[in-house]
Structure 1
Amino acid sequence: MDKLWAMQVFTRVVECQSFNRAAESLDIANATVTASVRNLESYLGVSLLSRNTRTLRLTDAGARYFRHCTELLRQVEQAESEITEQTGSIQGQLRIESPAAFGKDVIAPLLAEFCSQHPELQVALRLTDHPEGLIESGTDMAICIDSVSDADLVARPLYQAHYIACTTPALLEQLGQPQHPAELDPARCLGLFRQSSFTATAWQFQKAGEQHELQPAGKLNFNSTDALIDAALADQGFIYVLDVFVNRLIAQGKLVELFPDWETFGRTFFTVTPKSRFVAPRTRSFIEFLMASLDTQRRPPVNVQVELQHGRT
């Protein structure tokens, strides 16, 4: 019996609270996971898990063994990573999970450059607005927005994005350059709505104590940032979107920011990693690369408050 492998399977079962989910995250058959845990219990002469058709929990012996396994596996991974770092080579597969819009517009365009710096590395990027648990899915790093609601995750602030109003140069030439948000025609403003509603979110601006709110009433409304930006690029109207999604388009002259001297609300993007795992060099390198690639002027301070609750949203 490969005891180290059996420890890895056992800890994954505990982390996932399921034999089936552990098998999926390890990409092996359910029967292999079951046999591995049974062989480990037979070798140790104790029952590690108490299980029935609905629940799975550690026995007292299993809880003690799990703590030792977690620490031992962390040390093994750290030792392997230190040797790999000495060779100057980052290898293996980096598994990333990101909200669809951020992954498509921000992360994906950077991957070619990152992979060219580390030719022995493979990157798998999952784009989803319905995230799975990092541990259960075997994810190395994920992007979360606004708050991190799982005490088993370590969060690092990555980017403080702010909403900006923008449109194409062609539409500005046609309609004229507004000098104040109140000059925007709501009928030419395209809306973005959340998953649970078809009502577009209001646009909010503030400057020197003055506040202005606009309710978009344009003919097009979306629950997709990508679709909203595509409509704007087609000269369909004004949009109000997080700057991180349009910085590149503004730099290319395809879109124009309307009110740069007005403040708007923002949202914070975080990188998150599982607390129970050693952060491998490939993960650390990508986080550092990602931070260096984004606008450092809008990055929140490292002591930003991260809301910790029970359960991940």
Structure 2
Amino acid sequence: MDRFQAMQVFTRIVQVGGFGKAADSLGLPRATVTQLIKQLERHLGVQLLQRTTRQVSTTADGQAYYEHCIRLLADLEDTENCFAHARSHPQGKLRVDLPASVGHRIVIPRLGDFCQRYPQIELEIGTGDRPVDLVREGIDCVVRAGNVHDINLVSRPLAQLPQITCASADYIERYGEPLDLAQLAGHQAVNFYSALNGKTFAFEFTEAGEINERYLPGAVSVNNAEAYVAASVAGLGIIQAPYYHLHQHVQAGRLREILPEYRPPAMPLTALYPAQRQLSRRVRVWVDWLVEVFTDAELYQPKI
């Protein structure tokens, strides 16, 4: 039995939740994966996995062994990458996940620079607004907007994204423009709800140095940033979003800022990655590059 391969197979099964998925992701026959786990359990003298027709889960011994394995595998990779060539030329696959609007508007247009610097890194980029499980989905690093609190992940702040409140010119013509928070009564919103728990996010306004939360009625709720902006452009209601996502519509006159004296607080943008990836050279250069990208405030600063 190749113990190193067996450890890789075992950790992948835990991460993806099944033998078949692990075999497919590693490019191994399913029979090989099954045989390796049997040999590993026999070698250790404990049962690592509980199998049912629907799912695979770790036993208590399996969970403890998994935590040791991910540390050992990460240490082994980092040891190999400590050589001078690896330090100067990090290589291999890097799986990252970005909010769709951040990826499409800020990161991907500048990605050529990263690829030129690190041509031996193969990027696999997911974009979307759904929460992802880094460990189970095998993702090395995610970027998340908003306040994040996850003690199991290492976080690095990237930016504070200025936000504005907007509505379409057509909407303002029909409903009027509110000039203060009291005049929001009778207005409609496009509401944004969490894909994780279905909770609707409140609108936030800065008033006398304090955050004033308001929930506005609306006929449409969405859980995707692109749909959120598109619904407001279509005249369906008021929205709040980072300026970088709205500036093209504002400059073209499709959207107008309202209540500028009560702008919402800036939205934090954070890079997160599992603790065992903290010393990964690939993750390190990726996060460092993201910090460079977001250091340029001109990318997302309101000019109105």
TM-score, normalised via structure 1 length: 0.69
What letter corresponds to residue 192 of structure 1 in structure 2? N
Alignment map for 1:157-306 (pairs within 5 Å): 157-166=157-166, 180-181=179-180, 191-194=190-193, 203-208=203-208, 222-230=222-230, 236=235, 239-243=238-242, 245-246=244-245, 249=248, 257-294=257-294
CA apart distance, 1:78: 0.8
CA contact (8 A) 2:194 2:200 kept: no
Change (3 A) 1:108 1:188: farther
Runs of at least 5 residues in structure 1 that lack an aligned partner in the other structure: 298-313
Question: What's the counterpart of residue 139 of structure 2?
Answer: 139
RMSD: 4.5
Identity across the alignment (%): 28
CA apart distance, 1:272: 1.6
Aligned length: 293
1:188-234 deviation line (CA, Å, top 9, x unaligned) = 86523326899986644233268877776788765432134345567
Looking at structure 2, the residues matched to 149 and 34 of structure 1 have their Cα atoms a distance apart, in angstroms, of 37
1:118-141 deviation line (CA, Å, top 9, x unaligned) = 233222111233334212221111
SS state of the match for residue 83, structure 2? Answer: helix
Change (3 A) 1:114 1:174: farther
Change (3 A) 1:195 1:237: same
Looking at structure 1, the residues matched to 212 and 17 of structure 2 have their Cα atoms a distance apart, in angstroms, of 49
What letter corresponds to residue 83 of structure 1 in structure 2? F
Change (3 A) 1:185 1:88: same
Change (3 A) 1:186 1:26: farther
Which moves more between the two structures, 107-116 or 193-202? 193-202
SS state of the match for residue 294, structure 1? Answer: helix
CA apart distance, 1:289: 1.7
Looking at structure 2, the residues matched to 58 and 219 of structure 1 have their Cα atoms a distance apart, in angstroms, of 47
Question: What's the counterpart of residue 121 of structure 1?
Answer: 121
Runs of at least 5 residues in structure 2 that lack an aligned partner in the other structure: 298-304
What letter corresponds to residue 248 of structure 2 in structure 1? L
CA apart distance, 1:164: 0.9
What letter corresponds to residue 81 of structure 2 in structure 1? S
